[in-house]
Amino acid sequence: MLLRYQVSDHCYMKVLNKLCKYLKLVCITAFLLPYTVVADDFTEMPVDAGRLEVFVECSRCHSMQIVNQQGLTRSAWEKLMVWMVEEQSMIAMDDDKEKLVVDYLSKHYSPEARKEEFQARGRLRYP
Ligand code: HEC
């Protein structure tokens, strides 16, 4: 009786150990996944002045992918900044930072800069 009890106890521990291993894996993955997504968002951005400012300001509320899929002219980015502040409750940037951000966006996320990628993706129409 005692022996049987010890054996089943041992099995129980084995199963529990296995379960813990899986659980650890699931927890680690769930914890790290958002970081890898955010890291991708940043590393995909072209290296230039204003990159970090754009990333910090714009990925507060949404992924950079929402920016990445745009190809807008300077005046369209300027209007979007106003819309983001007035309609989406973005905190307004000071003039210097806004210039840096708009410079970066209109250089790297302009219709011309995005043209090749949009064509490669088969997007027939781009702004
Ligand atoms: C305070 C939160 C907030 C911040 C900060 C913010 N956005 Fe947004 N943005 C939103 C919301 C909310 C939407 C979605 C609006 C909708 O689809 O109705 C959005 C949508 C967008 C879109 C998609 C517009 C479209 O036509 O679908 C673009 C592009 C964009 N944001 C760019 C930016 C840029 C660039 C920055 C940084 C300068 C920025 N956002 C910062 C809240 C924010």
DSSP string, 65-104: HHHHT----HHHHHHHHHHHHHTT-PPPPPHHHHHHHHHH
**Vertex 47: Cα angle to 71 and 69 (nearest 5):** 25
| Residues 88-119: tens digit of each pLDDT | 999 999 999 999 999 999 999 999 998 888 77
For ligand 1, residues with CB inside 6 Å are 57-58, 60-62, 66-67, 70, 80, 84, 88-90, 101, 105
| Residues 7-21: tens digit of each pLDDT | 667 777 888 888 888
Residue nearest atom 21 of ligand 1, based on CA coordinates: 66
Residue nearest atom 23 of ligand 1, based on CA coordinates: 66
* pTM of the predicted model as reported, rounded to 2 decimal places: 0.76
CA gyration radius, the chain: 24
Residue nearest atom 1 of ligand 1, based on CA coordinates: 90
How many residues appear in the chain? 127
**Domain spanning 47-127 has what CATH number?**
1.10.760.10
